[in-house]
């Protein structure tokens, strides 16, 4: 799972990569990162997966290590908890930087299987997991209203209109 960069070769660097990342909303302060490590220290994923270090991800983006970064599974481990973002003294917004890198990875055709699976689940039922009658009975017991029905056809149509089905190479049921 490691990113696998032990020797940096000049010819493998993309000097414009950091600018591409910074064009994406939320990632505009990438180069403010001075590698203090506060983000990595705050990261609950980093505590469990030693290879996942938001600081390293930011550094690689700044250096222009586009291919090893976008090809890596590590970008997809971020839980989006914003613990790093709340603590960053430079307001770099590491969570948003990682989201920007994921977006670039997808644009480059590097779609992580977890993203594809989640999208297929949403296209199937409108949710990441199905809400059964049992869950609604439990909600009723707690005084909560039942979960509303989802208009799955509308969700699929939105996915088609924005091109998500083509981008992720998935088949949407009820296709036109």
pTM score: 0.79
- Whether the per-residue pLDDT at 173 is higher than 80: the answer is no
Over residues 44-101, the pLDDT tens digits come to: 999 999 999 999 999 999 999 999 999 989 899 999 999 999 999 999 999 999 999 9
- Which alpha helices (DSSP H) does the chain contain, by range? 17-22, 38-42, 44-48, 54-63, 66-70, 83-87, 94-107, 113-125, 133-141, 152-161, 164-168
Among residues 126, 125, 127, 124, which one has the least CA distance to residue 173? 124
Contact assessment for residue 74 and residue 52, using Cβ atoms and an 8 Å cutoff:
yes
Q: What is the mean pLDDT of residues 33-53?
A: 95
HSE-up of residue 72 (Cα within 13 Å, Cβ side):
24
pLDDT at 1: 47
Calpha distance 32→99 (Å, rounded): 17
């Amino acid at each position: 799972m490691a990113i696998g960069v032990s020797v940096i070769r000049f010819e493998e660097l993309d000097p414009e990569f950091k600018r591409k990342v910074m064009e994406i909303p939320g990632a505009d302060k990438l180069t403010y990162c001075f590698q203090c490590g506060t983000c990595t220290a705050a990261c609950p994923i980093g505590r469990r997966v030693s290879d996942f270090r938001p600081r390293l991800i930011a550094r690689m983006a700044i250096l222009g290590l586009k291919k090893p970064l976008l090809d890596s599974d590590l970008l997809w481990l971020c839980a989006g908890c914003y613990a790093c973002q709340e603590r960053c003294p430079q307001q770099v917004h590491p969570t948003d930087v990682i989201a920007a890198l994921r977006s670039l990875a997808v644009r480059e055709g590097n779609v992580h299987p977890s993203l594809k699976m989640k999208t297929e689940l949403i296209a199937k039922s409108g949710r990441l997991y199905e809400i059964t009658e049992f869950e609604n009975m439990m909600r009723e017991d707690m005084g909560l209203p039942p979960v509303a029905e989802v208009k799955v056809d509308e969700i699929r149509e939105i996915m088609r209109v924005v091109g998500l089905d083509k981008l992720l190479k998935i088949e949407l049921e009820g296709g036109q």
